[in-house]
Amino acid sequence: MATTATAATTQKQVRQAADLFDKCRRFTAAREAMERGVYPYFQPIEQSYDTEVVIRGERKIMVGSNNYLGLTHHPYVLERAGAALARYGTGCTGSRFLNGTLDMHEELEIRLAKFMGQESSLVFSTGYQTNLGIISSLAGRGSVVIQDRLNHASLVDGAMLAGGEMVRYPHGDLMALRRLLDRHVGAPGGVLVVTDGVFSMEGNIVDLPSIVALAREYGARVMVDDAHSVGVLGETGGGTAQHFGIEGEPDLVMATFSKSFASIGGAAAASEEVIHYLKHHARSLIFSASMPPSAVATVLACLDVMEREPERRYKLWENAIYLREGLRTLGFDTVTSETPIIPVVTGNIDRTFLFWRALFDAGVFTNPVLPPAVPESSCRMRTSVMATHTRDQLDRVLDAFKQVRRQLGAP
C-alpha cells in the first residue's frame, strides 16, 4: 500500500515538473543580438522633431514612422489636444459602454463616417482592438472568414477569436479567392472577405474593385482594413474605396488613428445597423477603457488639417516617389511598393540585422522585418516617408543606403 502511495506521489510530482516559464529561459535569440550590438527593437526615443528623433543623444532621420502626413507636431493639432486635456482631464476612466463616452467621441464618429464614405462609425481604443472587436463579433458559429495571406496580424487574431472558420488565400490571388468563395458559399453563418487596403510589409494596394465584385457574386460581405490607406489614398484621403471610386461599396471599413491621424485608437465604419450591433457585442469595446480625450481631439484636429491642407498629401506622394525611385536607381529591390511604404529587401536575418545597425550608425532609423512576417530569404528594411521630409533628408537617407550596400555588398 505504501509503495502504491509513493508511486502515486512520484507520478504527481512528474506531472507538476513542467514549468510554464521554460520557454522563457530557452528564448535566447534576442539576447544574442543584444550582445552583438545589432538588436533593433525597443529603441528608446528621447526626443522627437517630427522627421528626426534623438536616441541615446544621437539625432536620426526617421523613416520608420507611420506619421504619413507629419501631423504629430502640427501646431493646431497640439493646441487642440492640449485644450481637450484642460477640459476633460487625462482619461475617461471607463469603457465607452458605461461612463467613457464623451461628446467628442460622438462628434468624431459622425465626421469619420462621412470621411470614410459610410453611414455610421464607432471609435475603439486601438486599431488592434477595432479589428478584434469587428471580426469576433460578426463571424460567429457557422461563419467563414476569408483572408489574404498577408493581412495584418490583428485581422487574423480577430478571426481566431471568432466562433467561425478562417481560410486564407495566397496574396492577391483572385482565382484562389474565387475557389474559396465557391467552396464556402453555403456557409450557414455567412461569409466575410477581409483584406488590407494597403499591405503594410509590401506597400502595394489591394485590387478592391475585383474583390467587391467577387463577393457580390457569391453573396459575401467585404471588410477593408484601411489602416495605411486613410489620409493617404483617395482624392481627399478617404481611403482605398475612394482611391478606386467605389466609396460605400465595401460593407465595412476599418481605420486606425496611429498613422495619418497622429494619435492612437481606431474606428469601424459601416451601415447604422452593423455599427449598432458592434456597440452592443464587441467585447474589445465594452470591456476596455475608452480612447482618451486628448487622443480624440488629435484625430478631430487632423481631420481639420486634412481638409484645409490637401497639399500635405500631394507632398507625401512626391516624397514617396522620390525615395522609391532613388532606391531602385541604387539597385535595391523595393518589392511591389506603390505607396509611401517602401520595403527594401536585405536578404537573410543576420544580414538584415547588420544592415539595420549600419543604417542606424549612419543616422537613419528604419524597421527591420523578419519571419514570419516575410520569407526568411526576403527579410527587409521597411521604410516609410512623411509629407514633412525635406529633399535634403531623403538624399541623406539614400546616401546612407548607398554606403551600407557598398559596405555589406548586395543581398
The yes-or-no answer on residue 228 being catalytic is yes
pLDDT at residue number 410: 74
Nearest to 61 by CA among 408, 403, 405, 383: 383
Active-site choice (60, 243, 259, 279): 259
Q: Spelled out in words, what is the top-level CATH class assigned to the domain 28-62+310-408? A: alpha beta
Domain with CATH 3.90.1150.10 in the chain: 28-62+310-408
* Distance in angstroms (rounded) separating the CA atoms of residues 168 and 185: 15
pLDDT at residue number 4: 60
pLDDT at residue number 372: 87
Could you read off the pLDDT of 152-191 as tens digits, one per residue?
999 999 999 998 999 999 999 999 999 999 999 999 999 9
**Residue 5 reports pLDDT greater than 70:** no
Domain with CATH 3.40.640.10 in the chain: 75-308
Across the chain, mean pLDDT equals 95
SS3 track for the chain:
CHHHHHHHHHHHHHHHHCCCCHHHHHCCHHHHHHHHCCCCCCCCEEEECCCEEEECCEEEEECCCCCCCCCCCCHHHHHHHHHHHHHHCCCCCCECCCCCCCHHHHHHHHHHHHHCCCCEEEEECCHHHHHHHHHHHHCCCCCEEEEECCCCHHHHHHHHHCCCEEEEECCCCHHHHHHHHHHHCCCCCCEEEEEECECCCCCCECCHHHHHHHHHHHCCEEEEECCCCCCCCCCCCCCHHHHHCCCCCCCEEEEECCCCCCCCCEEEEECHHHHHHHHHHCHHHHCCECCCHHHHHHHHHHHHHHHHCCHHHHHHHHHHHHHHHHHHHCCCCCCCCCCCEEEEEEECHHHHHHHHHHHHHCCEECEEECCCCCCHHHEEEEEECCCCCCHHHHHHHHHHHHHHHHHHCCC
**Residue 371 reports pLDDT greater than 70:** yes
pLDDT at residue number 373: 84
**Percent of all residues in the chain with a pLDDT value above 70, rounded to a whole number:** 96
Active-site choice (65, 120, 137, 200): 200
| Residues linked to residue 222 through DSSP beta bridges, in sequence order | 193
pLDDT at residue number 7: 61
Q: At 375, is the pLDDT very low, low, confident or very high (cuts 50, 70, 90)?
A: confident
Q: At 2, is the pLDDT very low, low, confident or very high (cuts 50, 70, 90)?
A: low
Active-site choice (60, 184, 228, 389): 228
Could you read off the pLDDT of 272-306 as tens digits, one per residue?
999 999 999 999 999 999 999 999 999 999 999 99
Average pLDDT of 240-251? 98
Q: Spelled out in words, what is the top-level CATH class assigned to the domain 75-308? A: alpha beta
The yes-or-no answer on residue 263 being catalytic is no
Average pLDDT of 257-281? 98
* Distance in angstroms (rounded) separating the CA atoms of residues 43 and 39: 9
Count how many Cα atoms sit within 13 Å of the Cα of residue 140 in the half-sphere of its side chain: 7
Which parts of 183-319 are beta strand (E)? Answer: 191-196, 221-225, 252-256, 266-270
**Residue 253 reports pLDDT greater than 60:** yes
* Distance in angstroms (rounded) separating the CA atoms of residues 51 and 47: 11
pLDDT at residue number 59: 98
What one-letter code names the amino acid at 143? S
Could you read off the pLDDT of 298-346 as tens digits, one per residue?
999 999 999 999 999 999 999 999 999 999 999 999 999 999 999 999 9
Average pLDDT of 267-275? 98
pLDDT at residue number 409: 82
Average pLDDT of 261-268? 98
Could you read off the pLDDT of 96-134 as tens digits, one per residue?
999 999 999 999 999 999 999 999 999 999 999 999 999
The yes-or-no answer on residue 200 being catalytic is yes
Element (H, E) at 55: strand 52-55
Record the cell numbers describing residue 254, joined without a space: 476599418
